[in-house]
Amino acid sequence: MIFREVVRPEGEIGWYFVKRQCMHCNDPACASVCPVGALRKNENGPVTYDDSRCIGCRYCLMACPFQIPKFQWESAVPFVRKCTFCADRLAIGLSPSCAATCPTQALLFGEKSDLLKDAWQRIKARPDKYVPQVYGEKIAGGTSMLYLTSVPFDQLGLESVGFRTDLADVPYGLRGREWMSKVPFIAMVAGGLALGLTKFNERRNRVQATKEE
């Protein structure tokens, strides 16, 4: 949870609390760059993480446009950690714990189409209260997490911790797959160069040994 104080147009200071977690992108960049499939997008929304597969490459940390996954640097056996959208609860028909326990219904859970419809109805009914944007509807190709706010997102000052406003609508998973598609070629070239250098050094050593004899 992130707390911000923002000066309202009338000059008063408003307190705003922002829940920050994995956005569970429609086309997640983290899953697209994971070479072992430790991260994957489930059909019902969550992007889940399988620590038994993880090799600790941390590509997901670099790929995520929202800077969400974190690595357990302090642990002797480190893993990547992120919100899993309570995938285990969803699997048995329950809503995520955060939404189920929110006393003010600031957090709602449901079908994305229904939530978007409700969000835009709220915006149209109270244009004086809400910014005319549903964060997550299109940004980065769309996400399963959606935000409404009464303060422009760029004034919340959260870019440094992942609530970015400079992202396009193109899915970042496309960029990840494009990059990963080059990995086999790069690995083959690097391996070929290493093998060539090894053979060159072996030949040079044999020639040097012959001269010394």
Q: Are residues 120 and 195 in the same domain?
A: no
203 lies in the same domain as 145: no
Q: In total, how many domains does the chain have?
A: 2
Based on the domain organization, do 161 and 202 belong to the same domain? no
Q: Which residue, among 112, 166, 102, 180, has the nearest Cα to 142 in the 3D structure? A: 112
* Residue 150: predicted pLDDT: 85
Query: Tens digit of pLDDT for each residue in 99-156?
Result: 999 999 999 999 999 999 999 999 999 998 899 999 999 999 999 999 998 888 877 7
Q: Are residues 170 and 192 in the same domain?
A: no
Tell me, letter by letter, the H, E, C secondary structure of 83-116: CCCCHHHHHCCCCCHHHHHCCCCCCCCCCHHHHH
Q: What is the pLDDT of residue 168?
A: 85
Residue 160 pLDDT exceeds 70:
no
* Domain hosting residue 194, numbered range: 182-213
Break the chain down into helix, strand, coil percent, rounded to 5.
40, 10, 50
What residues contact 213, with CB distance under 8 A and at least 6 apart? none
Q: Are residues 19 and 48 in the same domain?
A: yes
Q: Are residues 205 and 115 in the same domain?
A: no
Please check the confidence at residue 188 and state whether its pLDDT lies above 60. no
Residue whose C-alpha is closest to residue 32's, from 185, 182, 190:
182
CB 122 within 8 A of CB 148: yes
What pLDDT was estimated at residue 30? 93
Alpha carbons 128 and 194: distance in angstroms, whole number: 64
CA distances from 138 to 36, 55, 132, 157, 206 (A): 28, 32, 13, 21, 63
pLDDT digits (tens, 9 = 90+) for 21-58: 899 999 999 999 999 999 999 988 999 999 999 999 99
- Amino acid of residue 32: S
> What pLDDT, on a 0 to 100 scale, did the predictor assign at position 175?
62
Q: What percent of the chain has pLDDT over 90?
A: 52
Q: Once rounded to an integer, what is the mean pLDDT over residues 79-96? A: 94
Query: Global pTM?
Result: 0.75
Tell whether 155 and 211 lie within a shared domain: no
Select from 71, 39, 63, 43 the least CA-distant residue to 53.
39
In sequence order, the 6+-apart residues with CB closer than 8 A to the CB of 32 are: 63, 172, 173, 174, 175, 176, 177, 180
Determine the distance from the C-alpha atom of residue 118 to the mean position of all C-alpha atoms in its chain, rounded to a whole number: 25
The pLDDT of residue 6 is 77
pLDDT band at residue 187 using 50, 70 and 90 as cut-offs: very low
